[in-house]
A = this chain, B = another copy of it.
Protein backbone atom coordinates (compact mmCIF):
# COMPACT_ATOMS: atom_id res chain seq x y z
CA UNK A 1 0.00 0.00 0.00
CA UNK A 2 2.54 2.61 -1.05
CA UNK A 3 0.15 5.51 -0.85
CA UNK A 4 -0.16 7.92 2.03
CA UNK A 5 -3.14 7.47 4.34
CA UNK A 6 -5.68 10.00 3.19
CA UNK A 7 -7.20 10.93 6.51
CA UNK A 8 -3.79 11.41 8.07
CA UNK A 9 -2.57 13.68 5.31
CA UNK A 10 -5.71 15.70 5.67
CA UNK A 11 -5.29 15.94 9.41
CA UNK A 12 -1.75 17.17 8.90
CA UNK A 13 -2.96 19.74 6.41
CA UNK A 14 -5.55 20.96 8.91
CA UNK A 15 -2.95 21.35 11.65
CA UNK A 16 -0.64 23.22 9.32
CA UNK A 17 -3.52 25.44 8.35
CA UNK A 18 -4.26 26.16 11.99
CA UNK A 19 -0.58 26.84 12.61
CA UNK A 20 -0.43 29.25 9.72
CA UNK A 21 -3.43 31.41 10.40
CA UNK A 22 -2.80 33.74 13.30
CA UNK A 23 -6.25 33.54 14.73
CA UNK A 24 -8.54 30.62 15.42
CA UNK A 25 -10.43 29.13 12.50
CA UNK A 26 -14.02 27.92 12.26
CA UNK A 27 -15.14 24.58 10.92
CA UNK A 28 -16.40 26.07 7.67
CA UNK A 29 -13.22 28.02 7.12
CA UNK A 30 -11.20 24.86 7.48
CA UNK A 31 -13.37 22.77 5.22
CA UNK A 32 -13.53 25.32 2.42
CA UNK A 33 -9.84 26.17 2.66
CA UNK A 34 -8.93 22.53 2.07
CA UNK A 35 -11.82 21.66 -0.19
CA UNK A 36 -13.28 19.09 2.19
CA UNK A 37 -16.89 18.31 3.00
CA UNK A 38 -17.90 19.86 6.29
CA UNK A 39 -18.67 16.48 7.78
CA UNK A 40 -15.25 15.15 6.87
CA UNK A 41 -13.43 18.13 8.32
CA UNK A 42 -15.50 17.86 11.44
CA UNK A 43 -14.68 14.21 11.92
CA UNK A 44 -10.97 14.89 11.66
CA UNK A 45 -11.15 17.90 13.94
CA UNK A 46 -13.12 15.99 16.53
CA UNK A 47 -10.56 13.23 16.60
CA UNK A 48 -7.67 15.68 16.77
CA UNK A 49 -9.44 17.38 19.62
CA UNK A 50 -9.89 14.14 21.55
CA UNK A 51 -6.19 13.44 21.13
CA UNK A 52 -5.27 16.91 22.32
CA UNK A 53 -3.74 18.10 19.09
CA UNK A 54 -6.47 20.66 18.60
CA UNK A 55 -8.50 22.69 21.05
CA UNK A 56 -11.86 24.29 20.58
CA UNK A 57 -12.88 27.57 22.05
CA UNK A 58 -16.12 26.61 23.84
CA UNK A 59 -17.61 30.02 23.15
CA UNK A 60 -17.05 30.62 19.49
CA UNK A 61 -16.64 26.99 18.52
CA UNK A 62 -13.51 27.89 16.63
CA UNK A 63 -10.44 25.68 16.57
CA UNK A 64 -6.79 26.21 17.37
CA UNK A 65 -3.78 23.97 17.93
CA UNK A 66 -3.65 21.96 21.13
CA UNK A 67 -1.30 21.48 24.01
CA UNK A 68 -0.31 17.95 23.10
CA UNK A 69 1.69 19.37 20.21
CA UNK A 70 3.80 21.39 22.61
CA UNK A 71 4.46 18.32 24.70
CA UNK A 72 5.42 16.19 21.71
CA UNK A 73 7.59 18.95 20.31
CA UNK A 74 9.46 18.98 23.58
CA UNK A 75 9.91 15.23 23.32
CA UNK A 76 11.36 15.72 19.88
CA UNK A 77 14.00 18.00 21.38
CA UNK A 78 14.74 15.49 24.12
CA UNK A 79 15.56 12.76 21.64
CA UNK A 80 17.39 15.00 19.21
CA UNK A 81 20.94 13.73 19.15
CA UNK A 82 22.53 16.74 17.49
CA UNK A 83 20.95 19.05 20.02
CA UNK A 84 21.94 16.92 22.98
CA UNK A 85 25.58 16.82 21.98
CA UNK A 86 25.67 20.48 21.02
CA UNK A 87 24.20 21.90 24.23
CA UNK A 88 27.44 22.40 26.10
CA UNK A 89 29.41 23.58 23.06
CA UNK A 90 26.76 26.13 22.20
CA UNK A 91 26.93 27.46 25.73
CA UNK A 92 30.69 27.78 25.55
CA UNK A 93 30.46 29.48 22.19
CA UNK A 94 27.96 32.02 23.48
CA UNK A 95 30.17 32.80 26.42
CA UNK A 96 33.35 33.05 24.34
CA UNK A 97 31.78 35.19 21.63
CA UNK A 98 29.49 37.15 23.89
CA UNK A 99 26.69 36.81 21.39
CA UNK A 100 23.50 34.85 20.78
CA UNK A 101 23.99 31.31 19.47
CA UNK A 102 21.56 29.40 17.27
CA UNK A 103 21.56 25.77 16.28
CA UNK A 104 19.50 24.82 13.25
CA UNK A 105 18.54 21.88 11.07
CA UNK A 106 17.08 21.75 7.59
CA UNK A 107 13.30 21.40 7.68
CA UNK A 108 11.19 21.83 4.58
CA UNK A 109 12.20 25.09 2.89
CA UNK A 110 13.86 26.64 5.89
CA UNK A 111 16.07 26.23 8.92
CA UNK A 112 14.35 25.06 12.07
CA UNK A 113 15.91 26.44 15.24
CA UNK A 114 16.47 23.56 17.66
CA UNK A 115 18.57 25.39 20.22
CA UNK A 116 19.05 28.99 21.21
CA UNK A 117 21.48 30.35 23.77
CA UNK A 118 20.75 33.87 24.90
CA UNK A 119 23.47 36.44 24.66
CA UNK A 120 25.20 36.45 28.06
CA UNK A 121 24.19 39.23 30.44
CA UNK A 122 21.64 40.89 28.31
CA UNK A 123 18.10 42.07 28.59
CA UNK A 124 14.88 40.29 27.86
CA UNK A 125 15.04 38.02 24.82
CA UNK A 126 12.49 35.79 23.16
CA UNK A 127 13.24 32.13 22.82
CA UNK A 128 13.15 31.18 19.17
CA UNK A 129 13.38 27.41 19.45
CA UNK A 130 10.82 25.92 17.09
CA UNK A 131 10.71 28.87 14.73
CA UNK A 132 11.97 28.90 11.16
CA UNK A 133 14.51 31.04 9.37
CA UNK A 134 14.96 31.41 5.60
CA UNK A 135 17.61 29.40 3.76
CA UNK A 136 18.90 32.03 1.39
CA UNK A 137 19.51 34.97 3.69
CA UNK A 138 20.89 33.62 6.95
CA UNK A 139 24.26 32.24 7.96
CA UNK A 140 22.55 29.12 9.30
CA UNK A 141 20.73 28.56 6.03
CA UNK A 142 23.38 29.41 3.51
CA UNK A 143 25.95 27.06 4.93
CA UNK A 144 23.39 24.25 4.66
CA UNK A 145 22.60 25.20 1.07
CA UNK A 146 26.31 25.21 0.30
CA UNK A 147 26.98 21.72 1.58
CA UNK A 148 23.66 19.87 1.51
CA UNK A 149 22.25 19.06 -1.94
CA UNK A 150 18.84 18.47 -0.35
CA UNK A 151 18.86 21.99 1.07
CA UNK A 152 19.90 23.38 -2.31
CA UNK A 153 17.02 21.48 -3.88
CA UNK A 154 14.51 22.83 -1.36
CA UNK A 155 15.68 26.34 -2.09
CA UNK A 156 14.56 26.19 -5.71
CA UNK A 157 15.46 28.61 -8.46
CA UNK A 158 14.14 31.83 -7.03
CA UNK A 159 13.76 34.64 -7.14
CA UNK A 160 13.75 34.63 -3.38
CA UNK A 161 12.00 36.89 -0.95
CA UNK A 162 13.81 40.09 -0.14
CA UNK A 163 14.04 41.26 3.48
CA UNK A 164 16.58 44.10 3.28
CA UNK A 165 18.61 45.77 0.55
CA UNK A 166 21.37 43.21 1.18
CA UNK A 167 19.26 40.10 0.59
CA UNK A 168 20.40 37.93 -2.30
CA UNK A 169 17.28 37.23 -4.32
CA UNK A 170 18.70 35.51 -7.39
CA UNK A 171 19.76 31.88 -7.57
CA UNK A 172 23.01 32.69 -9.38
CA UNK A 173 24.09 35.05 -6.62
CA UNK A 174 23.29 32.55 -3.89
CA UNK A 175 25.12 29.80 -5.76
CA UNK A 176 28.17 32.00 -6.19
CA UNK A 177 28.11 32.80 -2.51
CA UNK A 178 27.80 29.10 -1.72
CA UNK A 179 30.90 28.36 -3.77
CA UNK A 180 32.73 30.90 -1.65
CA UNK A 181 31.32 29.36 1.51
CA UNK A 182 32.56 25.93 0.50
CA UNK A 183 35.97 27.35 -0.31
CA UNK A 184 36.55 29.05 3.01
CA UNK A 185 34.44 26.74 5.16
CA UNK A 186 32.05 29.18 6.83
CA UNK A 187 29.15 31.46 6.00
CA UNK A 188 28.10 34.91 7.02
CA UNK A 189 25.09 37.12 6.62
CA UNK A 190 25.43 40.84 7.15
CA UNK A 191 22.05 42.53 7.34
CA UNK A 192 20.61 40.15 4.75
CA UNK A 193 17.56 39.24 6.85
CA UNK A 194 17.30 41.86 9.57
CA UNK A 195 18.65 45.38 9.52
CA UNK A 196 21.54 45.79 11.92
CA UNK A 197 22.04 42.08 12.54
CA UNK A 198 25.03 40.08 11.34
CA UNK A 199 25.75 36.38 11.82
CA UNK A 200 28.48 33.85 11.22
CA UNK A 201 27.68 30.20 10.57
CA UNK A 202 29.44 26.89 10.15
CA UNK A 203 28.41 23.38 9.17
CA UNK A 204 27.90 20.45 11.52
CA UNK A 205 28.52 16.99 10.08
CA UNK A 206 27.96 13.50 11.38
CA UNK A 207 30.68 10.90 11.42
CA UNK A 208 30.21 10.09 7.73
CA UNK A 209 30.63 13.77 6.86
CA UNK A 210 26.96 14.18 6.04
CA UNK A 211 25.64 17.66 6.83
CA UNK A 212 23.16 17.42 9.68
CA UNK A 213 22.78 21.01 10.81
CA UNK A 214 24.52 24.29 11.39
CA UNK A 215 25.51 26.59 14.20
CA UNK A 216 25.82 30.35 14.15
CA UNK A 217 26.36 33.37 16.31
CA UNK A 218 24.28 36.43 15.73
CA UNK A 219 24.56 39.97 16.98
CA UNK A 220 24.50 43.68 16.20
CA UNK A 221 26.52 44.44 13.09
CA UNK A 222 28.72 46.90 14.96
CA UNK A 223 29.87 44.21 17.39
CA UNK A 224 30.15 41.31 14.96
CA UNK A 225 31.76 43.23 12.10
CA UNK A 226 34.83 45.38 11.61
CA UNK A 227 35.49 47.52 8.52
CA UNK A 228 32.56 45.89 6.74
CA UNK A 229 33.70 42.31 7.36
CA UNK A 230 32.94 39.88 10.16
CA UNK A 231 35.64 39.65 12.80
CA UNK A 232 38.09 36.77 12.14
CA UNK A 233 38.23 35.90 15.82
CA UNK A 234 34.50 35.24 15.89
CA UNK A 235 34.76 33.16 12.74
CA UNK A 236 37.40 31.04 14.43
CA UNK A 237 35.18 30.53 17.48
CA UNK A 238 32.21 29.42 15.41
CA UNK A 239 34.24 27.07 13.27
CA UNK A 240 35.89 25.46 16.25
CA UNK A 241 32.51 24.98 17.94
CA UNK A 242 31.13 23.37 14.78
CA UNK A 243 34.13 21.06 14.60
CA UNK A 244 33.75 20.14 18.24
CA UNK A 245 30.09 19.26 17.81
CA UNK A 246 30.83 17.26 14.67
CA UNK A 247 33.54 15.37 16.48
CA UNK A 248 31.13 14.65 19.32
CA UNK A 249 28.59 13.29 16.87
CA UNK A 250 31.19 11.08 15.26
CA UNK A 251 32.56 9.75 18.50
CA UNK A 252 29.78 8.18 20.48
CA UNK A 253 26.91 6.33 18.89
CA UNK A 254 25.37 4.22 21.56
What is A's interface to B at a CB cutoff of 8 Å? Answer: 1-2, 4-5, 7-9, 11-12, 15-16, 18-20, 22-24, 39, 43-44, 46-48, 50-53, 64-79, 91, 105, 107-108, 112, 114, 124, 127, 129-132
Decide: B72 and A65 in contact? CB cutoff 8 A.
Answer: yes
The residue of chain B having its C-beta at the shortest distance from the C-beta of A78 within the complex is B22
The residue of chain B having its C-beta at the shortest distance from the C-beta of A112 within the complex is B67
Residues of B contacting A130 with CB < 8 Å?
70-71, 73-74, 77
Residues of B contacting A127 with CB < 8 Å?
127, 129
What CA separation (Å) do A8 and B75 show in the bound complex? 20
Q: Chain A contact residues: over half helix, strand or loop, or mixed?
A: helix
Q: Give the one of A20, A77, A78, A114 with max B CB within 10 A.
A: A77
What CA separation (Å) do A70 and B73 show in the bound complex? 4
Residues of B contacting A22 with CB < 8 Å?
78-79
What CA separation (Å) do A107 and B64 show in the bound complex? 15
Q: A4-B50, A65-B79 are in contact. List 7 more A-B contacts (CB 8 A).
A: A9-B47, A12-B51, A65-B72, A71-B107, A71-B112, A71-B132, A73-B130
What CA separation (Å) do A26 and B91 show in the bound complex? 33
Decide: A76 and B72 in contact? CB cutoff 8 A.
Answer: no
What CA separation (Å) do A188 and B66 show in the bound complex? 28
